[in-house]
Amino acid sequence: MKKLSRNDKVVVLTGAGISAESGIRTFRDSGGLWENHKVEDVATWSGFEKNPALVWKFYRQRWEDSNATKPNAAHYALVDMEKYFAQHFCLITQNVDGLHRIAGSINPLEMHGNLNYCYCTSCRAKFDMKDTDAHVAIPLCPKCGAYLRPDIVWFGEIPYYLYEIENSLKKCDVFIIIGTSGSVYPAAGFVMTAKLMGAETIAINLDAPDNLSFIDEFHQGKSGTILPSLVKKWTAMV
């Protein structure tokens, strides 16, 4: 198993699996969110145009669910990693539940947005969900009255922070994926980029991810159990 040096540049990409032990449903596991909802209905702009109330119902529920949960041991292990590697550490997440921030991660790159925010489809003003009338069927912009939409990057839209992510992938020595099926691009391709740029690649996942062929070291199991002990070993924080 790889022992990391304090000067290694470490980039971590997390997905829904890291929040599973906090009680948040993943997308593609059995019982996952995409089993009961059509992606095109609730996670595309055209779905929102067709039925904004349905889309709001879906994200309002997910917002309420995630507000009722807490970070787990894996989220906290990443906070320890950030403290140890300091400016050499970069956390990228596909998750929109905000749990990395709540755990104490300082600047997770939330590339698919965050359920706690929404923005105006007309004037683009951004709001904290708590500051809007979130419980009406379709929340309206307090500034201009147009529809608000969840601050979620839907399919067909460009993820946030791609410039920062690309820079971190070019420089990284170790790239770690945690709790992600490796099936949604561009995130699923980051491991290939990192590997081709010379990084060591590690995965911690319940099932084999789709991009396993680019992984040097695979730890199969639950991240809440596996990650804290790996972090202790990697950083010799025993």
Residues lying near ligand OAD in the complex (CB under 6 A) are found at 15-17, 20-21, 26-29, 32, 43, 94, 112, 153-155, 179-181, 183-184, 205-207, 209, 222-224
Binding of residue 130 to Zn ion (CB under 5 A): no
Residues 179 and 17: beta-carbon distance below 8 Å: yes
* Min dist. Cβ of residue 143 to ligand OAD (A): 26
Binding of residue 123 to Zn ion (CB under 5 A): yes
* Greatest extent of the chain over all pairs of C-alpha atoms, in Å: 56
Looking at the Cβ atoms of 134 and 215, the one nearer to Zn ion is 134
Q: Which of 88, 112, 135, 219 is catalytic?
A: 112
The 109-110 sheet, strands edge to edge: 109-110, 89-93, 10-14, 174-178, 200-205, 217-220
Binding of residue 143 to Zn ion (CB under 5 A): yes
112 tagged catalytic: yes
* Min dist. Cβ of residue 86 to ligand OAD (A): 26
HSE-CB for 220 with a 13 A CA cutoff:
4
Q: Which has the closest alpha carbon to 103: 184, 191, 224, 5?
A: 224
* Min dist. Cβ of residue 127 to Zn ion (A): 9
* Min dist. Cβ of residue 205 to ligand OAD (A): 5
Torsion of CA 203, 209, 211, 215, to 10 degrees: 30
- When binding is defined by CB under 5 A, the residue of 42, 90, 103, 120 that contacts Zn ion is 120
Q: Which residues of 166-191 are buried (b: 16+ CB within 10 A; e: fewer)?
A: eebbeebbbbbbbbbbbebeebbebb
Could you give the CA distance from residue 166 to residue 108 in angstroms, rounded to a whole number? 15
Looking at the Cβ atoms of 40 and 155, the one nearer to ligand OAD is 155
Could you give the CA distance from residue 149 to residue 120 in angstroms, rounded to a whole number? 6
- Which of ligand OAD, Zn ion, none does residue 209 bind (CB under 5 to 8 Å by kind)? ligand OAD
- Which of ligand OAD, Zn ion, none does residue 183 bind (CB under 5 to 8 Å by kind)? ligand OAD
Binding of residue 141 to Zn ion (CB under 5 A): yes
Beta bridge partners, 132, equal none
For Zn ion, the binding residues (CB under 5 A) are: 120, 122-123, 141, 143-144, 146
Active-site amino acid positions: 112
